[in-house]
Amino acid sequence: MGRRRKRVYGMLIALLALTMIALALLPGVIAWGKPAPSVSAAPDTKNDSPAAPPSAPQNASGEKNASLKIATFNIQVFGESKRSKPDVMDVLAKTARNFDIMAVQELRDDTETTLPAYLDAINSLPGPDYAAVSSPRLGRTSSKENYAFIYNTGSVVLVPGSNFTFADPPEGSAADLFQREPFIARFRPLSDHASAFDFALITIHTDPDTTPQELIDLPLALSAARSRYGYETDFILLGDMNADCSYLTPSESATLALRNSSFLWAVPDDADTMVKSTDCAYDRIILFGSAQEHYGGAWGVYRFDDAFGLNQSVSEGVSDHYPVWVIMNPEK
């Protein structure tokens, strides 16, 4: 090969090298080989951490990673007759969506189809889906009831396998303590602070004829929950406790172990939780253990009559009780 041809080849090779260097320096140019990944590329599949949820958890008010609003509601004789009334079901469905968890008493339906119908009504409204867990039918008479916890799946999760009904009579006793044994379950917030605040709910509907005795024995259900859940320290007792007026007098209330300094009665004695003219605080929420540290200090009676502009007659068709609620702060 002559010198002229060698010089030409050398110049071509040098030109090609300079071209490749220039291309590499241009911003945004894809490198040789497979295309560069886009900004929204999937995370490294070798990462063992779980994938992020599609959206941030929302509480009942639509706020993200916020406090939890926990309620209890005796929906008076809630069965096939009441659920057949669209106006009543509309109020009940809208009411449930105000809370992240709502303990329900007086589900009376031997077909046990009222709770699924109620959930359908709740989930027909805009917002996160709600789910429920319920007890067996309970009671010494033919008029039996289910308890239920109805909860916002966008803000809390039921701890799998945690729900149980208090064994009555308790081991080692022949005494039947409760007309309707307390129903218990654990929940965990879907928030950045879930590990700091999982909690147990214990709900009860006392028998008006034996309210003082049932409230004396209610700490046994708390003890059963503490034993079952091991290291759990956050407990909330809630329900229609009939804890006022003629069913529980001030002198009877003062003798209860539930009144010692280990318990915080968030719904006070002067509250009125009844729809009718009776001025009584039958429905209560009591905090035990480190649940008190997460208490937001806010409680209330949810007056669905005022919320939806109902007259007295229509309101009494919904229930003779109002829901009562507390705010719990997982971040505390």
The CA distance from 95 to 8, in Å, is 86
Distance of CA 151 to the CA centre of its chain: 4
Residue at 138: amino acid letter: L
Q: What 3-state DSSP class applies to 222? A: helix
Residue at 183: amino acid letter: F
For the CA atoms of the chain, what is the radius of gyration?
30
Looking at the DSSP bridge assignments, the partners of residue 97 are none
DSSP line for 65-120? T--EEEEEEEEEEESHHHHT-HHHHHHHHHHHTT-SEEEEEEE--TT--HHHHHHH
Distances 38 to 43, 59, 105, 120 between C-alpha atoms, Å: 11, 33, 53, 41
Q: What 3-state DSSP class applies to 165? A: strand
Q: How many CB atoms lie within 10 A of CB 130?
A: 24
Identify the residue whose tokens are 């003219």. 277
**Positions marked active-site:** 145, 205
In terms of DSSP bridges, do strands 68-78 and 101-107 run parallel, antiparallel, or are they unpaired? parallel
The CA distance from 132 to 134, in Å, is 7
In 39-75, which positions are buried (b, 16+ CB within 10 angstroms) versus exposed (e)?
Answer: eeeeeeeeeeeeeeeeeebbbbeeeebbbbbbbbbbb
